[in-house]
Amino acid sequence: MSDKPKITLADRLEHGLVTLPEVAGLAGVSVRKINYDVAAGLLPVEKFGRSTRVQGPNAKAYLSGQTMRVNAA
């Protein structure tokens, strides 16, 4: 058995990163809807190679209905 502490989704929403499918599941919408909102600049994301993640606090704000406008670079 591993001695590593288990990191929960709730922990990652507070201080970590979550995936787009996780955000979609929590929001009760499709991943496609999340991708549309990302493309529209309503949800900031971070890319790690081919992987896309959302910072937990940004995901919480998005899930609570607070939208933020992301400036495209």
Check residues 66 and 52 and name the one with the higher pLDDT: 52
* CB-CB contact of 17 with 55 (8 Å): yes
How many angstroms separate the CA atoms of 13 and 69, rounded? 20
Phi, psi dihedrals of residue 54, rounded to the nearest 5°: -120, 135
Domain that holds residue 36: 9-63
Q: Does the CA dihedral 20-63-44-37 come out positive or negative?
A: positive
Q: Is residue 68 part of a domain?
A: no
Instruction: Tally the domains of the chain.
Output: 1
Residue 4 — pLDDT band, cuts 50, 70, 90? confident
pTM: 0.82
Q: Is residue 19 part of a domain?
A: yes
Degrees to nearest 5, angle at CA 66 with 69 and 30: 90
